[in-house]
């Protein structure tokens, strides 16, 4: 199995990518190899800084075009055909690789993934899944920002996407699905929530636990939280910043104390680098988006998540969950 890694995505590319890829090879089965896509000479120079890697498991594919902030996400496929994003996703589209991982522009990766891999039949729009750390382990939130002004049937699709992801990647046979809302009762919330509640409650294929309020997420009330991408994106960014803010407050205070406390260890549970990137779900292929500021550890975990999703045949499971056959090859 082959995983494609965009080597030009992070703010410090390709250093974090190369180190992350080399680390990931240690975690993965021997039949998995990684293709670094990007500027060949830049990647080669970075590789020279590391000890040689086991023959045949780390490859480089040249992709000279650079995607910049000036490129509109929707234009990348057409205007930057030799960029790492387009070349990498084309490999997955062609069946030459099982998954794509990138820390490049979220918008560009999302749009190009959609244009190349396409959505599975039965999916209106792909959703971004994000893992939130909670008191009782990871919780998948979707959509985390790919779609706004969602319709009830789209949130219903997200529930199925999350259901399969939680089965295949989180090891849960019957993941608890919650609908993000502002009250517990079925009639609470905005029009979207009330209608979606009806759809989810009537679906025997889902373990729907009902409405989940803002405070319930962190208490671990469910394994998958379904919401419109507007509120999901606000929540995700808010969570990251609140965690940073509180840890900052604390570090300032603790700097006055004599005892050495390893806060990084205390807050490892809040560390997004543990979670392995944000999958784009609902596509006919695997595409995982990482933070632009991802350190090597985050890249390494995202590659592992990509390999697990491929190994578990997640795309086929999603296709069959939605009642239609996908075209992704069995791995």
Residues that bind a copy of itself (CB under 8 A): 134-135, 145, 148-149, 180-182, 189-191, 193, 213-219, 228-231, 233-250, 253-254, 257-259, 261, 265-267, 269-270
Rg (C-alpha) for the chain, rounded Å, is 20
**Least distance (Å) from a copy of itself to the CB of residue 290?**
17
Nearer to a copy of itself, 107 or 175 (CB): 107
Which stretches of the chain are DSSP H helices?
15-27, 40-47, 76-79, 84-93, 106-117, 152-169, 191-201, 214-219, 229-254, 263-266, 296-311, 314-321
Nearer to a copy of itself, 29 or 259 (CB): 259
Nearest Cα residue to 298 out of 17, 2, 37:
17
Query: What tokens does 139 get?
Result: 């919780």
Tell me, rounded to whole angstroms, the distance of Cα 233 from its chain centroid.
Answer: 13
Nearer to a copy of itself, 84 or 275 (CB): 275
What is the arrangement of strands in the sheet containing 130-134, beginning at the earlier edge strand? 130-134, 137-142, 224-226, 176-180, 207-212
Nearer to a copy of itself, 128 or 319 (CB): 128
Nearer to a copy of itself, 208 or 239 (CB): 239
**Least distance (Å) from a copy of itself to the CB of residue 198?**
16
Nearest Cα residue to 305 out of 320, 321, 322, 290:
290
**Least distance (Å) from a copy of itself to the CB of residue 53?**
37
**Least distance (Å) from a copy of itself to the CB of residue 250?**
6
Nearer to a copy of itself, 10 or 106 (CB): 106
* Contact criterion met (CB below 8 Å) for 20 and 297: yes
**Least distance (Å) from a copy of itself to the CB of residue 245?**
5
**Least distance (Å) from a copy of itself to the CB of residue 231?**
5
Three-state DSSP class for 138?
A: strand
């Amino acid at each position: 199995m082959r995983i494609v890694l965009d080597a030009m995505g992070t703010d410090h590319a390709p250093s974090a990518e190369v180190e992350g890829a080399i680390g990931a090879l240690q975690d993965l089965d021997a039949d998995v190899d990684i293709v670094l896509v990007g500027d060949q000479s830049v990647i080669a120079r970075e590789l020279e800084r590391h000890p040689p890697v086991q023959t045949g498991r780390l490859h480089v594919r040249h992709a000279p075009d650079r995607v910049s902030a000036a490129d509109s996400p929707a234009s990348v496929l057409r205007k930057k055909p030799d960029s790492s994003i387009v070349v990498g996703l084309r490999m997955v589209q062609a069946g030459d690789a099982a998954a794509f991982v990138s820390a490049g522009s979220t918008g560009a990766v999302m749009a190009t993934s959609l244009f190349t891999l396409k959505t599975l039949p039965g999916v209106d729009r792909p959703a971004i899944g994000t893992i939130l750390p909670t008191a009782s382990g990871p919780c998948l939130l979707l959509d985390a920002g790919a779609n706004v002004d969602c319709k009830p049937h789209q949130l219903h699709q997200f529930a199925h996407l999350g259901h399969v992801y939680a089965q295949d990647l989180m090891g849960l046979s019957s993941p608890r699905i919650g609908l993000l809302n502002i009250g517990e009762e079925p009639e609470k919330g905005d029009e979207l929530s009330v209608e979606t509640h009806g759809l989810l409650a009537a679906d025997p294929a889902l373990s729907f636990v009902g409405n989940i309020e803002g405070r319930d997420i962190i208490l671990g009330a469910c394994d998958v939280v379904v919401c419109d991408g507007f509120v999901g994106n606000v929540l995700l960014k808010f969570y990251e910043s609140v965690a940073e803010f509180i840890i900052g407050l604390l570090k300032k205070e603790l700097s006055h104390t004599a005892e050495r406390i390893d806060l990084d260890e205390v807050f490892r549970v809040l560390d997004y680098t543990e979670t392995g990137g944000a999958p784009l779900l609902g596509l006919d292929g695997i595409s995982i988006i990482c933070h632009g500021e991802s350190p090597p550890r985050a890249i390494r975990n995202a590659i592992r998540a990509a390999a697990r999703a491929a190994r578990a045949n997640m795309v086929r499971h999603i296709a069959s969950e939605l009642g239609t056959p996908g075209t992704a090859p069995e791995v």
